[in-house]
Amino acid sequence: MNKQNNLTTTKKMPGAIKLIVAVLCVLLLLAAGAFSVMQAGASSSASDTSDISMQQAAEVALQDAGFSSSEVESLSGNLDSDDEVRHYDVRFVSQGMEYDYEIKASDGTILEKDREAVEAHSSSQNVSLPAESSTMTDSDFISIDEAKSIALQVSGVDASNAVFTEAELNVDDGVHIYEIEFISGDMEYSFEINAMTGSVAEWEKESIYD
C-alpha cells in the first residue's frame, strides 16, 4: 500500500515542478520589465540634467553666425520641445539681419537655422520709449548699460556669464522703469529698475525649467 502511494506521489512531482518553473519565469519577466522602466526613467532624468545651458546654446549660434555677443542686438532664447526633442530657440539681430537658431539641448547640435532682413533699429541700445515719455530725452535716465550693470551687480552674476533676453524702458504708474531680463546657466533673472535713480524696484530669479 505504501509503495503504491509513493509511486502516485512520484508521478505527480513533475507536474508540480513545471508549475513552479512557470511561476518563476513569469516573476522573472515582470522583474525584467520593471527594471527596464526604471532604467528608461533614469536615462530620461540623466538626459535632462546633462543638457547644455542657454548661454552655451547662444554661444553655439553666435559662433556659427560669426559674431560675438557684443556685435548683436536683441539676443534672446528659450527652452522648447518639438517631437520630444528638447532644443533652445535662439534669436538675435546683427547688421540688419535677424538670425533664428534651433540648438539641440542635449549636445549643442544645430538642428535648424534661418536669417532674414529686418528694418534698421532706431536705437542701438534696444530701448523702447513709451508714448508717454516722448517729451523726455535719454539724458533724463540712466543708460541701458548702467541698468544692466546694476542687475548683474545685485544678482552677483558676471557679465561674461549672462545672456540678456530683454532690456526695455516702460512707464508704470508714471514711473519710468527698465525691465531687464537675462539668463545665466540654468537660471533666469528678471529686474525692474527705476530709470531715474537706478534703484531696484523688484527682482526675482527662477529656473529655466520651471
For the stretch 10-36, pLDDT in tens is 555 566 677 777 777 777 777 666 665
Q: Which residues contact 182 (CB under 8 A, 6 or more apart)?
A: 148, 151, 152, 157, 162, 163, 164, 165, 166, 188, 189
- Over residues 150-201, the pLDDT tens digits come to 999 999 999 999 999 888 888 888 888 999 999 999 999 999 999 989 999 9
| Cβ-based neighbours of 193, under 8 Å, separated by 6 or more | 142, 147, 150, 151, 177, 178, 180, 199, 200, 201
Place of cell 525692474: 192
Residue 16: its pLDDT value, please? 66
Who has greater pLDDT, 45 or 208? 208
Give the pLDDT confidence score for residue 68 in this predicted structure: 87
Residue 110, pLDDT score:
92
Model confidence band, residue 130 (pLDDT cutoffs 50, 70, 90):
very low
pLDDT at 124: 38
C-alpha cell at 100: 533664428
Query: pLDDT band at residue 147, thresholds of 50, 70 and 90?
Result: very high
In terms of average pLDDT, the best of 51-60, 79-88, 145-154, 172-181 is 145-154
Is the pLDDT assigned to residue 123 strictly greater than 50?
A: no
pLDDT of 48 > 80? The answer is no
Q: pTM here?
A: 0.44
Nearest C-alpha neighbor of 56 from the set 74, 69, 66: 69
Three-class secondary structure of residue 142 per DSSP: coil
- Total length of the chain: 210
